[in-house]
Amino acid sequence: MRVAKNVHELIGHTPVVEITQFSLPEGVRVFAKLEYFNPGGSIKDRLGQELLRDALETGKLKEGGTIIEPTAGNTGIGLALAAIGKNINVIFCVPEKFSIEKQQIMKALGATIIHTPTSEGMQGAIRKAQELAREIPNAYCPQQFANPANPRTYYKTLGPELWEDLDGQIDVFVAGAGSGGTFMGTATFLKEKNPKIKTVIVEPEGSILNGGEPGPHKTEGIGMEFLPDYMDRSYFDAIHTISDEDAFKRVKELAKKEGLLVGSSSGAAFHAALLEAEKAKPGTNIVVVFPDSSERYLSKNIYEGGI
C-alpha cells in the first residue's frame, strides 16, 4: 500500500508543470514547481519541519516546550503542522496586515496568534517574538531570518527535487525572497551541480535587494527589509523588482490560461521568469517556484489586484 504514516510524510516531492499557454520565444520552456501541493499549502511546510527537527535534535527545545516565531503566515502554518503529535506549543507573532486565511489556518492547527503593528513590519514581529521567548519558560525562537537551518532546508530538499524533476536540464532558476532561505539554499545546491545555471532572485517594489528602501507593497510573502547573514549576493545573477500590478496581473492570467491558482508571490516570480524568457536562447529551460495558492488570499481580493 502507498500510504503515508502521518501528514509529515506528505511534505515535499511536489509536482512540476510546464507552462504552455503563454507566448514564449521559440525553443524556450518554462516549468513551475507547485509548492502549494504540500499538506499545509505552501513551500514553508518544508521549513517548519526542518526548524522543529533541528530544535529538538540540538536540545534547544524540549518536549512540552513552546516555539515562538515571527511569521507572515506560511512559516507559522508549517511550524504548527510540524508540531502536530509532538507535544509542542506554538505562538506566532504576525503583523496585522497579513492574510486572515493564514491566521485562521494557524489557529486551526493549534497555534496562538499575537498581532504586531503593521507599521513595524517584520522587525516588530521579530522583536515581539524575542521578548516572549525570554518571558516564557522552555520557549525557543527559531528565528527563520537568522537560522542557517532555513537555507539548509531547501538545499536538502527543493534543490535536489528540482534537479531530479528536470533531469538536471536547468538553465535558469527563479524564486522570490521573503526570508531568502528558499532562494539561497536552492541556488547553492543548483550551482554546485552546474555553476552555469543562472539564479534569479525576485522581490516586490518596497524591498531592498535592488538598492531600494523598505516600503509598503501588496505582494505578500516576499520582500526584504534587511539582508539575513546567510544571504550571499554572489548568487544573485539577476534581481527582478516586480510591481504589484504585474504580480497580480500574472496571478489572474495563470488562473485563466493554465488553471493554476497561485498567490501573488508566485505571480511576481512568474513575471520575472517571463522577463528571463524574453532574452533566453533557444533550448533554455527556466524553472520557477510557486510558493502557495490564491485560496489563502481571497479575503484580500487577490483576483481584483489585492484591493
Cβ atoms 132, 94 nearer than 8 A: no
Q: What is the pLDDT of residue 122?
A: 82
Residue 23 and residue 59 in one domain: no
Question: Which residues touch 185 (CB under 8 Å, ≥6 apart)?
Answer: 150, 151, 152, 153, 154, 155, 156, 158, 159
Q: Which three cell numbers stand for residue 28?
A: 524556450
Q: Has residue 1 been placed in a domain?
A: no
Q: What is the pLDDT of residue 2?
A: 85
Q: What is the pLDDT of residue 266?
A: 98
Containing structural domain, residue 63:
44-140
Q: Has residue 206 been placed in a domain?
A: yes
Residue 169 and residue 94 in one domain: no
Residue 177 and residue 296 in one domain: yes
Rg of the chain over all Cα atoms, to the nearest angstrom: 18
Q: Has residue 224 been placed in a domain?
A: yes
Q: What is the pLDDT of residue 304?
A: 86
Judge whether 89 is annotated as a binding position.
no
Which residues belong to the active site?
44, 265
Q: Has residue 16 been placed in a domain?
A: yes
Residue 127 and residue 269 in one domain: no
Q: Which of 140, 168, 200 is the last residue of a domain?
A: 140
Q: What is the pLDDT of residue 257?
A: 98
Q: Which residues of the chain have a pLDDT value below 70?
A: 306-307
CATH of the domain at 244: 3.40.50.1100
Residue 122 and residue 82 in one domain: yes
127: left (phi over 0), alpha (psi -120 to 50) or beta: alpha
Judge whether 179 is annotated as a binding position.
yes
Q: Has residue 148 been placed in a domain?
A: no
> What are the tens digits of pLDDT across the range 86-102?
999 999 999 887 788 88
Residue 95 and residue 172 in one domain: no
Nearest to 271 by CA among 27, 22, 61, 102: 22
How many CB atoms are located within 10 Å of the residue 257 CB? 13
Residue 20 and residue 105 in one domain: no
Q: Has residue 152 been placed in a domain?
A: no
Q: What is the pTM of this model?
A: 0.94
Q: Which three cell numbers stand for residue 113?
A: 496568534
Judge whether 168 is annotated as a binding position.
no
Residue 113 and residue 24 in one domain: no
Residue 163 and residue 274 in one domain: yes
Residue 165 and residue 252 in one domain: yes
Q: What is the pLDDT of residue 307?
A: 54
Residue 164 and residue 290 in one domain: yes
Taking CA atoms, 297 is separated from 9, 123, 255, 266, in Å, by 26, 23, 14, 12
Q: Has residue 209 been placed in a domain?
A: yes
Residue 178 and residue 291 in one domain: yes
Q: What is the pLDDT of residue 214?
A: 87
Percentage of residues of the chain with pLDDT beyond 90: 85
Judge whether 206 is annotated as a binding position.
no
Total domains in the fold of the chain: 2
Q: What is the 3-state secondary structure (H, E, C) of the chain?
A: CCCCCCHHHHCCCCCEEEECCCCCCCCCEEEEEEHHHCCCCECHHHHHHHHHHHHHHCCCCCCCCEEEEECCCHHHHHHHHHHCCCCCEEEEEEECCCCHHHHHHHHHCCCEEEEECHHHHHHHHHHHHHHHHHHCCCEECCCCCCCCHHHHHHHHCHHHHHHHHCCCCCCEEEEECCCCHHHHHHHHHHHHHCCCCEEEEEEECCCCCCCCCCCCCCCCCCCCCCCCCCCCHHHCCEEEEECHHHHHHHHHHHHHHHCCCECHHHHHHHHHHHHHHHCCCCCCEEEEEECEEHHHHHHHCHHHCCC
